Amino acid sequence: MTKYQSVIDDIKDRILNGVWPSGSLIPGEMELCRIYDVSRITVRRALEELSSAGYAMRIQGKGTFASIPPQLQSGSSKLGFAQYMGKNGIDVVSKLLADEKIEADSNIKRKLLLHDDEKHVWHFRRVRIVKGIPIAVMDTYVRTQTADKMRSYDLERESFFSLYERILGKGISRNIFSISAVVPDKDVKRYLKMPRISAGILLESTAFIEDEVPIQYDISVFNPAYYKFTSAEGTISPTSL
């Protein structure tokens, strides 16, 4: 076995066995050179391979973070987080941190295709908890007319996707999204009980109802120590670890 492959296999083993848990900072290149007694070129090549395979997330200026590889492909999901987990017999508890009407910035306006006279949206921030473990912090932006009616419900217990169908009589037709690595801010790390130096999974999504109107724009940060995403038949679905 080459030194290069030996370094890859050992780092992978450490990640899978929890020595370097998913989301934790992997030692720097010089330290890895010392640990494995190899050149910096060998270490860089190993990290590039691990990153391509999903075992590492390299963030410019921050370092390399351990990761459990998500198996991803293009697709969409019509189920919200609570709906999907409930379908699999897992209850989700939500803690509502913010419930406020705000002025929509240019990004939110673009994502929700707001007209010029639609200047505000409702912002909901929730911590999603599974089996007592805080899994994700979700910042959700909803069109004002719909959100006004949603606020008469218990938003810590209700699925937003279910509420849209109940209020509007129209279900979610598609949910487009992107997934990337992120270094969360200190508040998100505190809510998710993440180490000070750690990375998270950033899920950015826009959900559309049946007449192709974008109803919800969502920015979520998941704790990779307890959560990963898997795909089946072109649909990405969350899977609790």
CA 47 – CA 27 distance, rounded (Å): 11
| pLDDT averaged over every residue in the chain | 84
pLDDT single digits (tens) 27-77:
999 999 999 999 999 999 999 888 888 788 888 788 898 887 644 333 346
Q: How far is CA 71 from CA 26, 50, 231, in A?
A: 21, 14, 6
Q: Pick 167 or 225 by higher pLDDT.
A: 167
Angle between helices 40-53 and 3-16 (to 10 degrees): 50
pLDDT value at residue 153 = 94
User: Domains of the chain by range and CATH?
Assistant: 3-66 (1.10.10.10), 81-240 (3.40.1410.10)
For residue range 64-101, list pLDDT tens digits in order.
988 876 443 333 466 666 766 666 666 778 999 999 99
> Within a 10 A sphere around the Cβ of 23, how many other Cβ atoms?
26
- Name the CA radius of gyration of the chain, rounded: 20
> What average pLDDT does this structure show over 159-177?
89
Q: Do 50 and 12 touch, CB atoms closer than 8 A? A: yes
Per-residue pLDDT tens for 196-239?
A: 888 898 988 888 888 778 999 999 999 888 776 665 544 555 66
